[in-house]
Amino acid sequence: MEIKIESKDDISICRVSGEITFSTSPDLRKRLIELTDKHIKKIVIDMKNLTYIDSSGMATVVEILQKIKAIDGELKLANVPDKIKDILEMVRLKDIFDIQESEEAALASF
């Protein structure tokens, strides 16, 4: 798993590639919590190059959504692969996330 974080104005874009698994999700959690701890209120997680996400990865994204909502911020997911959309639907998470078709669409939606 590789994580690249870029800031555009007041928005942080987190691009995750590879596989989020039980062993790699703690790294993602640490990087995202650093953002919410800094009170960054607008975060995009771009999943374009994400090949796999397990339950711990999904739970991590849910936790970040809880944290960002607690500071009146917004979290957007962009380029969510269909397979991952299916899993989000199965665990009934699809509707709690703001899912955007692309990074550009996510940035424009704030």
Partner 1 sequence: MFKKAKVDSEPVIEVRNLVKNFGGRRVLNGVNLKIYKGEVMVIMGGSGCGKSTLLRHIIGILKPDSGQVLIEGKDINSLKARELDKIRLKIGMLFQSGGLLDYMTIKENIALPLTEHTNLDKNVIDIIVNLKLSMVNMRGMGHLLPSEISGGMKKRAGLARAIAHDPSYVFYDEPTAGLDPVVAGVIDKMILDFSKKLSVTSVVVTHEMQSVFRIASRIAMLHMGEIVEVGTPRQIKASKSKLVQQFITGSPDGPISFSQLGDDYLTELTKK
Considering the complex, what minimum distance in angstroms separates the CB of residue 56 from partner 1?
A: 6
Considering the complex, what minimum distance in angstroms separates the CB of residue 54 from partner 1?
A: 5
- Nearest residue (CB) to partner 1, 87 versus 103: 87
**21-29, Cβ contacts within 8 angstroms, sequence gap of 24 or more:** 21/52, 21/54, 21/56, 21/57, 22/54, 22/56, 24/57, 25/54, 25/56, 25/57, 25/59, 25/60, 27/1, 27/3, 28/1, 28/3, 28/57, 28/60, 29/60, 29/63, 29/64
- Nearest residue (CB) to partner 1, 7 versus 55: 55
- Nearest residue (CB) to partner 1, 37 versus 104: 37
Considering the complex, what minimum distance in angstroms separates the CB of residue 26 from partner 1?
A: 7
Residues that bind partner 1 (CB under 8 A): 22, 25-26, 29, 54-56, 58-60, 62-63, 86-87, 90-93
- Nearest residue (CB) to partner 1, 12 versus 60: 60
Please check whether residue 79 is in contact with residue 46, taking contact to mean a CB–CB distance below 8 angstroms. yes
